[in-house]
Structure 1
Amino acid sequence: MKDALVLIPARGGSKGIPKKNIKLLEGKPLIQYSIDFALSFTRPKNICVSTDDDEIIEVAQSCGIGVPFKRPEDLATDSAGSHGVILHALRFYEEQGKKFGKVILLQPTSPFRNLEDLRAMDQLYSPEVDMVVSVGKPHHNPYFSLFEENGDGFLELSKKGQFSRRQDCPDVYFYNGSIYLINPDSVRRKPLNQFTKVRKYVMSDLYSVDIDSPLDWMICETILRTKLL
């Protein structure tokens, strides 16, 4: 992973859980779980916490990570996506004379990861792909139990098919938000949601927890307190 930039995007604003990225999860700031994971496989100089928030900067520095820049305000709004944040970080380092061969994006809202998964994802990566992404397998399948409302106000299956058992449906996946292994050349050409050459790496339910609500936070607390991981 020597040629990889580890990018941890951590915006200051959070509506669902105030100051979520630095809120203590079992005694440790949430963002520290991602920082500690990054430090387990690379040097601090290859880790970038991209944030607009002074408190997050202080927490990152207390974890041994230097924060080389403060994210511009236009990249810290509710509508700002990952694409601009990644490009901003890559350009900053390129101006310093450093070019990375990969970007490992670690969202702070996914506190549970293990190094074996990352190594397996790295084996799936090649310069010909846009991204290797961690995924989970949903409990609901659009061929069987997910519906959309049609123009007449009636529910229809989201995906067409005649399946009498969920087990017979094609496998589907969701991005679990844990690890994105991104080709920098691809992200310079287009945003992540336009990538066409994406390989998956399936993670278990425990490693697919993404904190987006107080209920998700309680689930993570339970996982840690009961030592499920």
Structure 2
Amino acid sequence: MNLAIIPARGGSKRILHKNIKPFCGKPIIAYAIENALKSGIFDEVIVSTDSVEIAQIAVRYGARVPFMRPENLADDHTPTLPVIAHALESQQVRDEDLICCLYPATPLLPTHYLTQAHRILCQDERIHYVFGALPYAHSPWRSFRLDSIDSESMEFSESIARVDSNAHSSNKHSTESFAPTLLHPEFERTRSQDLAALYHDAGQFYFARARSFKAQIPIFAPHSRALILDPLHAHDIDTSHDWQLAELKYQILHPKSR
């Protein structure tokens, strides 16, 4: 059995009702459900949620909601792997069944990434996970932290600065400034084209055999494989600004949707 599981809790705080908020004309979770169904890979598409409203919308778009997620797996600090493991416990899955954890806020993700990940996983039983990765827009080898410093006394604060653009723009007369400290000073004079490329989790999907999810084996390790995604096809949506940028990307990808 091939199963897609979409984890969609109802208690989002940074963007209220994020998983069902309208995105370019329909609830954002609808894109993930339709993408999974369109792929032709999955026998079922299941939504794991603690929200009756999300469950109703998920069913409307073709998913199944065979259980409600318990409260202890629906708070701000619950990681993904226990949520998927719980979903698998409620279904009759075999260890060798193929499972895709597909996040609900993935409206930009083309279907071919899911089919490609499925193919990679099927080709080698030693692989635990296949997931999407993105290259950093700017090399982290040149990154620096900002330490708070009083420009009049030139004394450093013990805490690393937390830059709030709104706070600083509204306080134009503040004497507070920030001093950079390179995290990798050994690369200060290295040409940018000579720095090793680094990537991060795109936060779109994780494909694995059920046994890997059940055992909650760590994802980011040599036993996994990463698919490098086009940055236009993935966007981390955590703020209203992120939401607006993601909608602009969607309109570029789907000009007829405007």
Fold shared per TM-score above 0.5: yes
Alignment of 1:96-175 (within 5 A): 98-99=93-94, 101-125=97-121, 126-144=124-142, 146-148=143-145, 155-158=181-184, 161=187, 164-175=190-201
Q: Is the 8 A contact 2:129 2:225 kept in 1?
A: yes
Q: Secondary structure at the match of 2:69?
A: coil
Q: Is the 8 A contact 1:109 1:212 kept in 2?
A: no
- The residue type equivalent to 2:226 in the other structure is K
1:180 aligns with 2:206: yes
Q: Is the 8 A contact 1:163 1:169 kept in 2?
A: no
Which residue in 2 is equivalent to 1:82?
80
Aligned residues: 223
Q: Is the 8 A contact 2:85 2:216 kept in 1?
A: no
Evaluate the alpha carbon distance shift between residue 215 and residue 158 of structure 1 in structure 2; reply closer, same or farther with a 3 A threshold: farther
Which residue in 1 is equivalent to 2:215?
189
Which residue in 2 is equivalent to 1:55?
53
Which residue in 1 is equivalent to 2:65?
67
Cα distance in 2, alignment partners of residues 177 and 68 from structure 1: 25
Q: Is the 8 A contact 1:44 1:64 kept in 2?
A: no
Q: Secondary structure at the match of 1:192?
A: coil
Choose 149-158 or 70-79, whichever is displaced more: 149-158
Evaluate the alpha carbon distance shift between residue 217 and residue 155 of structure 1 in structure 2; reply closer, same or farther with a 3 A threshold: same
Q: Secondary structure at the match of 1:143?
A: helix
Q: Is the 8 A contact 1:148 1:156 kept in 2?
A: yes
Cα distance in 1, alignment partners of residues 6 and 159 from structure 2: 44
1:39 aligns with 2:65: no
Which residue in 1 is equivalent to 2:166?
none
Q: Is the 8 A contact 1:52 1:71 kept in 2?
A: yes
Cα distance in 1, alignment partners of residues 73 and 241 from structure 2: 28
Cα distance in 1, alignment partners of residues 222 and 11 from structure 2: 31
Evaluate the alpha carbon distance shift between residue 161 and residue 200 of structure 1 in structure 2; reply closer, same or farther with a 3 A threshold: same
Give per-residue Cα distances to partners, 1:40-65, cap 9 Å, x unaligned. 02487511100000100110111122
Percent identity over paired residues:
30
Q: Is the 8 A contact 1:130 1:182 kept in 2?
A: yes
- TM value normalised by structure 2: 0.78
Q: Is the 8 A contact 2:108 2:249 kept in 1?
A: no
Q: Shift of the alpha carbon at 1:216?
A: 1.0
- TM value normalised by structure 1: 0.87
What is the Cα-based RMSD across aligned positions, in Å? 2.5
Choose 52-61 or 202-211, whichever is displaced more: 202-211
Q: Shift of the alpha carbon at 1:16?
A: 1.0
Cα distance in 1, alignment partners of residues 253 and 220 from structure 2: 38
- The residue type equivalent to 2:207 in the other structure is L
Q: Is the 8 A contact 1:130 1:195 kept in 2?
A: no
Of 2, 5, 12, the match for 2:3: 5
Of 17, 40, 55, the match for 2:15: 17
Q: Secondary structure at the match of 1:167?
A: helix
Structure 1: give runs of 5+ residues left out of the alignment.
none
Cα distance in 1, alignment partners of residues 23 and 145 from structure 2: 36
